Chains A and B, each alone.
Chain A
């Protein structure tokens, strides 16, 4: 194996890590704070991807492709907004009932997929990358870093930085962490846990929306796009340990680096099997993931 192949595999691994990180981030905080296993998380990703598609339909060819930058915050707002409405109307009845939450959010995921099918048609649609995201930097012969993947890495880093600042440097974030660590005690201390919940869920969905508009650069988007990513996202969250940034990052990087490696030395199907098997083995050893948060709570 030559140097440029090894380097490009490392790059592919980091690129996959950044995608997994974007998707896992939102899932991790809703899972961690609210105890709701959100199977519809992938559909918020799909909503974000369609947001990018609509924006492209409206603005294509008008401003040299800067519209794509706006699709990111817009996808955050649209997916977050829909998440907010669903939290108020459905999810809040499921707190503390993980089994019902699996069924209900799975049903929700089917409903959202069918709605997308009715609105946008069963055919997949394509988001054309703007001119400045095509091509890539050629570092050496045979090693080329595509701009769109570098761009996705940058978005992932910005999202993580944003979440870090919010969680650890703001009042809202402190409340959120408090609720995560001990819901009843937080409520006693005067934190409105209900509004923390709906805000958390909206942010989680919004992050999935950003992930969606980012991955629209890599493949086509359709009503079932979210399904392609949801299992990987759960794997990241379970491996990393629920509800903390460091765990999600570690989980995403580990799976992101391992998948292309095993895929390269075996085949695509086999690579996936090996990664799954390793995660299962790992969880036997550390059942609560790499970074267990709730070690001192009694629930």
Chain B
């Protein structure tokens, strides 16, 4: 009897405890709901090595966009937490870090890469795990993965309009000068076909090794060839030597203008704007654009990273990419990669350069195209604009028989 009562007592005691415990569990569950698990996103750029000069600034813009979204209450009521990885200017490292972000950190999306070589290195990783990368730099085209959103220009949004514009201005004889690797050679292939089709001629084509600094002979060749315009796809420090020596040789923008596609505000700091004054560049975005979105963007970027910093095309693309993704997440109501990718088709955002839209079939971005003339202060006077966003064509009909019919689906024309 006594024993039975005692055990009953113990039973009551345990029930009370269990109820209390359950209540606690419930309570903690409620706390979790109020402070939901953050959304992890990957940021993959070279923070060391030769490419860090360019890529660090893009990473900074991406982080700024993430912080702006968090300051406005986050995404789906959740905070975005960036996980930054260093690709170290080394292509296998890029692939390794991409794998780490996807498998170990389980990020919802990755923003990153600059060189085509690094993009080509991570591409199989993103395709294997069926994930999502936002790539912010103009490139040579001839690619359209369903796992990559290309927010930089396709060839028909930078190189080809620049050539057409030059021809319209009466520049018929082109001298093609580039660094000796895949982007300039592919770009010049497109340009040569375009000139043939639109009535221009190539009077010289020259490739110099990356890091080449002695341009006097190239300049002699240019003088001998007497072109109307030089189309420049040099990359990196060679630009500095080329522009300095061109000027010292007495060739100014009035004599033979140089049209460049790899020189933006950021690069002009190193070249010395006065060496390149009057020459031309084609981009989708210039820091000197007068849209209200751009004024806020430039102001915030400088306030955050220093008044001497400049913004430019890839920096802006690294910034609005985050917003495009955020819009798609809102539309999908989830961060699930497949659903977000579906939601991204046709998504719009008012970026500093104006409206940008993801093309529903080829994952590239509709962007405005502009041509700028370099000023003494390292900024551009915008002298031509397409006025409205141009449809991206990653496979220009001039050089390719392929076309994209749906994300990742490429068929022969």
Contact of B216 among A12, A135, A215 (CB under 8 A): A12
Q: Does A146 count as interface, using CB distance less than 8 angstroms?
A: yes
Contact A126 B270 (CB under 8 A): yes
Contacts of A171 in B (CB 8 A): none
Q: Does B374 count as interface, using CB distance less than 8 angstroms?
A: no
Contacts of B206 in A (CB 8 A): 267-268
Interface residues of A in 119-173 (CB under 8 A from B): 122-126, 128, 134-136, 138, 142, 144, 146-149
Give the distance to chain B from A136, nearest Cβ to Cβ, in Å: 6
Q: Does B375 count as interface, using CB distance less than 8 angstroms?
A: no
Contact B217 A134 (CB under 8 A): no
Contact A146 B209 (CB under 8 A): no
Give the distance to chain B from A234, nearest Cβ to Cβ, in Å: 17
Interface residues on A, range: 35 or more
Contacts of A269 in B (CB 8 A): 180, 207-209
Contacts of A144 in B (CB 8 A): 249-250
Give the distance to chain B from A35, nearest Cβ to Cβ, in Å: 30
Contact A219 B223 (CB under 8 A): no
Q: Does B336 count as interface, using CB distance less than 8 angstroms?
A: no
Q: Does A264 count as interface, using CB distance less than 8 angstroms?
A: yes
Contact B250 A12 (CB under 8 A): no
Assuming the A-B contacts A125-B270, A220-B237, are A5 and B216 also in contact, with contact meaning beta carbons closer than 8 angstroms in the complex? no
CA distance A124 to B271 in the complex (A): 9
Contact A124 B220 (CB under 8 A): no
Q: Does A87 count as interface, using CB distance less than 8 angstroms?
A: no
Q: Does B120 count as interface, using CB distance less than 8 angstroms?
A: no
Give the distance to chain A from B203, nearest Cβ to Cβ, in Å: 14
Contact B270 A5 (CB under 8 A): no
Give the distance to chain B from A193, nearest Cβ to Cβ, in Å: 38
Q: Which of A1, A122, A125 has the most CB of B within 10 A?
A: A122
Contacts of B237 in A (CB 8 A): 124, 219-220, 222
CA distance A191 to B206 in the complex (A): 55
Contact of A260 among B50, B217, B248, B271 (CB under 8 A): B217
CA distance A59 to B205 in the complex (A): 41
Interface residues of B in 174-220 (CB under 8 A from A): 180, 206-209, 211-214, 216-218, 220
Nearest neighbor of A123 in chain B, beta-carbon distance: B53
Contact A220 B270 (CB under 8 A): yes
Give the distance to chain B from A137, nearest Cβ to Cβ, in Å: 10
Query: Among the listed stretches B155-163, B238-246, B405-413, which one makes contact with chain A, having 4 or more residues with CB under 8 Å of it?
Result: B238-246
CA distance A124 to B357 in the complex (A): 36
Number of A-B contacts (CB under 8 A): 100
- Per-position contact with A for B217-228: 1 when CB-CB < 8 Å, else 0? 110110110000
Contact of B212 among A142, A149, A268 (CB under 8 A): A268
CA distance A1 to B224 in the complex (A): 8
Q: Does B269 count as interface, using CB distance less than 8 angstroms?
A: yes
Contact B216 A260 (CB under 8 A): yes
Nearest neighbor of A134 in chain B, beta-carbon distance: B248
Q: Does A89 count as interface, using CB distance less than 8 angstroms?
A: no
CA distance A228 to B211 in the complex (A): 7
CA distance A128 to B207 in the complex (A): 27
Q: Does B300 count as interface, using CB distance less than 8 angstroms?
A: no
Assuming the A-B contacts A123-B53, A142-B223, A144-B249, are A268 and B209 also in contact, with contact meaning beta carbons closer than 8 angstroms in the complex? yes
CA distance A123 to B50 in the complex (A): 9
Contact B217 A12 (CB under 8 A): yes
CA distance A149 to B50 in the complex (A): 29
Contact of B220 among A9, A148, A227, A267 (CB under 8 A): A9
Contacts of A149 in B (CB 8 A): 216, 248
Contacts of A125 in B (CB 8 A): 270
Contact of B248 among A146, A227, A267 (CB under 8 A): A146
Contacts of A228 in B (CB 8 A): 211, 213
Q: Which of A2, A5, A148, A263 has the most CB of B within 10 A?
A: A263
Q: Does A218 count as interface, using CB distance less than 8 angstroms?
A: yes
Contact B270 A123 (CB under 8 A): yes
Q: Does A29 count as interface, using CB distance less than 8 angstroms?
A: no
Q: Does B272 count as interface, using CB distance less than 8 angstroms?
A: yes
Contact B220 A126 (CB under 8 A): no
Contacts of B208 in A (CB 8 A): 268-269
Contact B223 A8 (CB under 8 A): yes
CA distance A11 to B305 in the complex (A): 46
Q: Does A294 count as interface, using CB distance less than 8 angstroms?
A: no
Contact B53 A218 (CB under 8 A): no
CA distance A259 to B217 in the complex (A): 9
Q: Does A272 count as interface, using CB distance less than 8 angstroms?
A: yes
Q: Does B52 count as interface, using CB distance less than 8 angstroms?
A: yes
Contact A12 B220 (CB under 8 A): yes
Contact B269 A128 (CB under 8 A): no
Nearest neighbor of A8 in chain B, beta-carbon distance: B220
CA distance A122 to B266 in the complex (A): 14
Give the distance to chain B from A153, nearest Cβ to Cβ, in Å: 13
Assuming the A-B contacts A138-B250, A146-B249, A264-B217, are A5 and B223 also in contact, with contact meaning beta carbons closer than 8 angstroms in the complex? yes
Contacts of B271 in A (CB 8 A): 126, 220
Contact A218 B250 (CB under 8 A): no
Contacts of B52 in A (CB 8 A): 122
Contacts of A148 in B (CB 8 A): 248
Interface residues of A in 5-57 (CB under 8 A from B): 5, 8-9, 12, 15-16
CA distance A241 to B42 in the complex (A): 56
Contact of B272 among A5, A128, A138 (CB under 8 A): A128
Assuming the A-B contacts A123-B270, A219-B213, A269-B209, are A264 and B240 also in contact, with contact meaning beta carbons closer than 8 angstroms in the complex? no
CA distance A123 to B221 in the complex (A): 30
Give the distance to chain B from A134, nearest Cβ to Cβ, in Å: 7
Give the distance to chain A from B95, nearest Cβ to Cβ, in Å: 23
14 contacts across the A-B interface (CB closer than 8 A): A9-B217, A12-B217, A124-B270, A126-B271, A136-B248, A136-B250, A215-B213, A218-B244, A220-B241, A220-B270, A260-B220, A263-B218, A268-B207, A269-B209
3 A-B pairs with the lowest CB-CB distances in the bound complex, closest first: A219-B241, A220-B240, A146-B248
Binding site for A on B (CB under 8 A): 50, 52-53, 180, 206-209, 211-214, 216-218, 220-221, 223-224, 237, 240-241, 244-245, 247-250, 269-272, 274
Known: A9-B217, A227-B211. 8 other contacts (CB 8 A): A4-B223, A5-B223, A122-B53, A126-B270, A136-B249, A220-B241, A259-B214, A271-B217
